[in-house]
Amino acid sequence: MQNPNEDTEWNDILRKKGILPPKEKLKEQEQAKEEEELRILQQQSIVKTYEDMTLEELEDNEDEFNEEDERAVEMYRQQRLAEWKATQMKNKFGELLEISGLDYVQEVTKAGKDIWVILHLYKQGIPLCALINQHLSGLAKKFPDVKFIKAISTTCIPNYPDRNLPTIFIYLEGDIKAQFIGPLVFGGMNLTRDELEWKISESGAIKTDLEENPRKQIQDQLMSSVKSSFSTKKDSDSEED
């Protein structure tokens, strides 16, 4: 195909007849086309750049965006802000908090939508309560999207009997989903953090990475030991006969 910009006799004839535009106009059209292509490339480059920017970087570079870019950037900023807020909400706790009965409604009943609350009722001087507080502190760090709180029992429930301690209540949006009351439920001072994690996870409050109940492993070992001991005794009795 012949180039319309070439200085040929045929092109001159076509220009005179108005079939081809004057050379100057062609140059303007080509220049405009090149500028449009450059603008598109620059815009694509900006889009790729702002998708990798933090919220602070978006604010620092907002003067470099044109009106069309600004609309896209604003939508992206809102998306990043929503993601940031969701992350902050999920990681808003991270420690075992002490409350009193006066705080109960605010911290438990009004904890918020989809917020799990683990409340430990305890008293000073009870070793198992101290052990559970220690375990809950570790679990609070491991599961920062769950609210772990503790309270001296009688500040929440007047005259609550010490024989029921330790007590753990598990709430979701103000409703009790599980409860563990008294030392026997926890297995005494041999309770490990993994065992407590598994017990709480059965309520749905936390998503444990443990593959099976740690207590089951201990029970299996005990049963194996008992069977072995029984078998040895049986063999010994047979030899005596």
**How far apart are the C-alpha atoms of 150 and 123, rounded to whole Å?**
10
By CB neighbour count within 10 A (0-12 exposed, 13-18 middle, 19+ buried), where does 132 fall?
Answer: buried
| pLDDT at residue 39 in the model | 72
Domain ranges of the chain: 97-216
Nearest to 94, CA basis, from 171, 130, 147: 147
Mean pLDDT, the chain, integer: 79
127 prior amide bond cis, ω within 30? no
> Residue 199 contacts by C-beta under 8 Å, 6 or more apart in sequence?
180, 186
Task: Return left, alpha or beta for 18; rule: phi > 0 is left, psi -120 to 50 is alpha, else beta.
Answer: left
Q: Percentage of residues in the chain with pLDDT exceeding 70?
A: 61
| pLDDT at residue 124 in the model | 95
| pLDDT at residue 82 in the model | 73
pLDDT digits (tens, 9 = 90+) for 155-169: 999 999 999 999 999
97-216 is a CATH 3.40.30.10 domain: yes
- Give mean pLDDT, residues 212-236: 60
pLDDT digits (tens, 9 = 90+) for 168-195: 999 999 999 999 999 999 999 999 999 9
pLDDT digits (tens, 9 = 90+) for 84-105: 666 666 667 889 999 999 999 9
Q: Which residues pair with 148 in a beta bridge?
A: 96, 118
- Give mean pLDDT, residues 73-81: 73
pTM (2 d.p.): 0.58
**How far apart are the C-alpha atoms of 221 and 200, rounded to whole Å?**
23
Question: Structure tokens of 13?
Answer: 């004839």
More confident of the two residues 215 and 119: 119
* Geometric angle at alpha carbon 208, from 202 and 211, rounded to 5°: 90
More confident of the two residues 23 and 210: 210
| Model confidence at 48: pLDDT above 50 | no
